[in-house]
Chain A
């Protein structure tokens, strides 16, 4: 049983060993909608990439980004290792940021019942 547990732990460590994760988040994030995922490949240490860049064109008008997360799973890490980093896939996850809160107003009801 103990051996089985050790084997399980080793397997888990192996599965996560090639993984990596990087996160950038706005200091006062205004998350909008669902997280988007895009696969990205860094070729030859970043001198090439496919696709060349990710344009967050699916955000709404005037919207920026609230959070960007880059993850590399075991398979992606293995590919990068086998190719000595020449072919390094990762997945980019991002959420759009809503526009800043608009100014407030008032509604004039004086004089009404």
Chain B
């Protein structure tokens, strides 16, 4: 009989009773079991000793996996739609680790180059903290801060979202992981680093020592680890910079014609090019959702406003928005698979649910809780803004040949220094292929990538959504960064047995398991 998996007072192991599933139930995998490290159950305020103890528990789990030659993967809210967090070994469920530390002026390295505006806004968050919790805490009257950007919803953990490249569509900021300036990385069972960029030191070495980590400053190592989907160890905590608190005013325009005005807006991101946005000022956020079935579009535009002290917070999920049903999309997906001719009618019906009221809210309220939906299908292609219009024309033509219950959500992101940032162009247009998960959608995701290749359009794809990356495609998309990423992994995990623990099939299929 194999030895039981070791536990501690706050680390529990449970053998798998059924296959692991992602949140949207589009990925399923048989696995060995789950390790769950718990924050101390009496819920004391976070301090250095709690961080040390939690890290120790995680390293007990890593050691146990290594000794048994079993793979281990840290997961957050399991929101990824790709197989990036999937393992047949042990899942490390980080969802209970939500501690946080306010970085004070005394913690800052004399070499910290952050502006006076940034200095009071640094926070350390443990890996399991939800983006919802980060927003609510930052935006409170006590701290009066905001994230510059976030994904469309808030249910991901801060490390889960950043490790897979979650992005928003903010005109002057990169993806979510660009908030991160320090990473507490557990690199195997007995090493831990506080990783920073050498070009951007933030914390005194004494801070690293206080949480039991070795300070390590290296641009390539940081830029590799910050987007590594669990491949370089376990990211126990991250330190982020934040913005002074602000509000957003959101306008939705729908339906909007797919005409030359819209093409000009997408090609230039200049709001003056579109009559709906003209004269309204600089955009903070822009999303254009193109419905290839109804041949019209929706524009979501947001404008940054100064803080209003009379603002009343409301983060709650609203009852009226629960619907058409928790997994209604799976039934609809099956119907549309049988009757692809119904796809345009379905989208016409869905269009009626669009809320076009103008809204003023914090980022956390705006990109808040969403009705839980299963069987959501989402893939993506990301291209340079200069290729944006041509890409959309190609996708539209592809949809005519291979109808799928998807729309094209166009988001625009500034570049990131992360080695595997798929937002790597001077301005990237990420086309999120969103809709219902069925065979038609999966086929369309693959054909979208093939179509861009056939037309010689350089592209990348979202790590956390259904993607068609292969080793050859990664080499083409990321060039020398692939080698740098692999080298970084070897430096952070020099023992091949440690690298084996943090390997999964997703990496092997993409030539990243070295």
Task: Name B339's contact: one of A5, A21, A100, A108 (CB within 8 Å).
Answer: A5
* Pairs A–B under 8 Å by Cβ, sample size 23: A5-B339, A12-B335, A21-B325, A28-B369, A33-B93, A34-B20, A34-B34, A60-B96, A61-B38, A101-B100, A101-B129, A102-B45, A102-B46, A103-B45, A104-B100, A104-B101, A104-B123, A106-B104, A107-B48, A107-B104, A107-B211, A112-B205, A113-B206
- Pair B21/A108 contact, Cβ less than 8 Å: no
* A interface, over-half SS: loop
Which A residues are CB-close (under 8 A) to B155? 29, 31
Distance to closest chain A CB from B226 (angstroms): 22
- Pair A109/B106 contact, Cβ less than 8 Å: yes
Nearest residue, chain A, Cβ from B108: A109
Distance to closest chain B CB from A25 (angstroms): 6
| Residue A49 lies at the interface, judged by CB distance under 8 Å to chain B | no
- Pair B45/A104 contact, Cβ less than 8 Å: yes
Distance to closest chain A CB from B36 (angstroms): 7
Among A21, A58, A112, max chain B CB count under 10 A is at: A112
List residues 21-40 of chain B with CB under 8 A from any CB of chain A.
21, 23, 34, 36, 38-39
| Residue B207 lies at the interface, judged by CB distance under 8 Å to chain A | yes
- Give Cα distance in the complex from A32 to B41, angstroms: 15
A-side interface residues toward B, CB under 8 Å? Answer: 5, 8-9, 12, 16, 21, 23, 25-35, 37, 58, 60-62, 67, 69, 98-110, 112-113
- Give Cα distance in the complex from A21 to B325, angstroms: 8
Nearest residue, chain B, Cβ from A99: B43
- Pair B46/A9 contact, Cβ less than 8 Å: no
Mask of B86-117 contacts with A, CB within 8 angstroms, 1/0: 00000001011011111010110000000000
Nearest residue, chain A, Cβ from B91: A34
Stretch at the interface among B58-66, B326-334, B410-418: B326-334
Mask of B37-55 contacts with A, CB within 8 angstroms, 1/0: 0110101111110000000
Other A-B pairs beyond A31-B95, A34-B78, 5, CB < 8 Å: A23-B325, A60-B96, A107-B101, A107-B107, A109-B107
Distance to closest chain B CB from A61 (angstroms): 4
Which A residues are CB-close (under 8 A) to B514? none
Mask of B119-149 contacts with A, CB within 8 angstroms, 1/0: 0000100001110110001000000000000
> Top 8 closest A-B pairs, CB basis?
A112-B206, A110-B106, A103-B45, A27-B316, A61-B41, A109-B206, A104-B100, A105-B47
Which A residues are CB-close (under 8 A) to B12? 60
| Residue B204 lies at the interface, judged by CB distance under 8 Å to chain A | yes
Task: Name A108's contact: one of B18, B38, B106, B133 (CB within 8 Å).
Answer: B106
- Pair A27/B372 contact, Cβ less than 8 Å: no
Distance to closest chain A CB from B17 (angstroms): 9
- Pair A60/B36 contact, Cβ less than 8 Å: yes
Task: Name B207's contact: one of A62, A104, A109 (CB within 8 Å).
Answer: A109
- Pair A30/B130 contact, Cβ less than 8 Å: yes
- Pair B372/A23 contact, Cβ less than 8 Å: yes
Distance to closest chain A CB from B401 (angstroms): 20
Which B residues are CB-close (under 8 A) to A32? 93, 95-96
* B interface, over-half SS: loop
List residues 204-246 of chain B with CB under 8 A from any CB of chain A.
204-207, 209-211
List residues 427-447 of chain B with CB under 8 A from any CB of chain A.
none
| Residue B322 lies at the interface, judged by CB distance under 8 Å to chain A | yes
Which B residues are CB-close (under 8 A) to A100? 43
Task: Name A101's contact: one of B34, B133, B211, B335 (CB within 8 Å).
Answer: B133
Task: Name A102's contact: one of B78, B99, B315, B372 (CB within 8 Å).
Answer: B99
Which B residues are CB-close (under 8 A) to A99? 39, 41, 43, 96, 98
Distance to closest chain B CB from A29 (angstroms): 7
- Pair B41/A107 contact, Cβ less than 8 Å: no
- Pair B204/A113 contact, Cβ less than 8 Å: yes
| Residue B460 lies at the interface, judged by CB distance under 8 Å to chain A | no
- Give Cα distance in the complex from A33 to B39, angstroms: 14
| Residue B391 lies at the interface, judged by CB distance under 8 Å to chain A | no
Nearest residue, chain A, Cβ from B204: A109
- Pair B18/A37 contact, Cβ less than 8 Å: yes
| Residue B164 lies at the interface, judged by CB distance under 8 Å to chain A | no
Distance to closest chain A CB from B130 (angstroms): 7
Which A residues are CB-close (under 8 A) to B339? 5, 8-9
| Residue B198 lies at the interface, judged by CB distance under 8 Å to chain A | no
- Give Cα distance in the complex from A101 to B135, angstroms: 12
- Pair A69/B326 contact, Cβ less than 8 Å: yes
Task: Name A35's contact: one of B21, B47, B207, B335 (CB within 8 Å).
Answer: B21
- Give Cα distance in the complex from A100 to B137, angstroms: 12
Task: Name B132's contact: one of A23, A28, A60, A113 (CB within 8 Å).
Answer: A28
- Pair B369/A29 contact, Cβ less than 8 Å: yes
- Pair A23/B326 contact, Cβ less than 8 Å: yes
Which A residues are CB-close (under 8 A) to B20? 34
- Give Cα distance in the complex from A27 to B369, angstroms: 8
Which B residues are CB-close (under 8 A) to A110? 106
- Give Cα distance in the complex from A8 to B337, angstroms: 11
- Give Cα distance in the complex from A9 to B205, angstroms: 66
| Residue B77 lies at the interface, judged by CB distance under 8 Å to chain A | yes
- Pair A106/B101 contact, Cβ less than 8 Å: yes
- Give Cα distance in the complex from A41 to B199, angstroms: 62
| Residue B317 lies at the interface, judged by CB distance under 8 Å to chain A | yes
Task: Name B96's contact: one of A8, A23, A98 (CB within 8 Å).
Answer: A98
- Give Cα distance in the complex from A26 to B316, angstroms: 9
- Give Cα distance in the complex from A102 to B311, angstroms: 25
- Pair B77/A28 contact, Cβ less than 8 Å: no
Distance to closest chain A CB from B166 (angstroms): 17
- Give Cα distance in the complex from A100 to B46, angstroms: 13
Nearest residue, chain A, Cβ from B42: A62
Nearest residue, chain A, Cβ from B134: A101
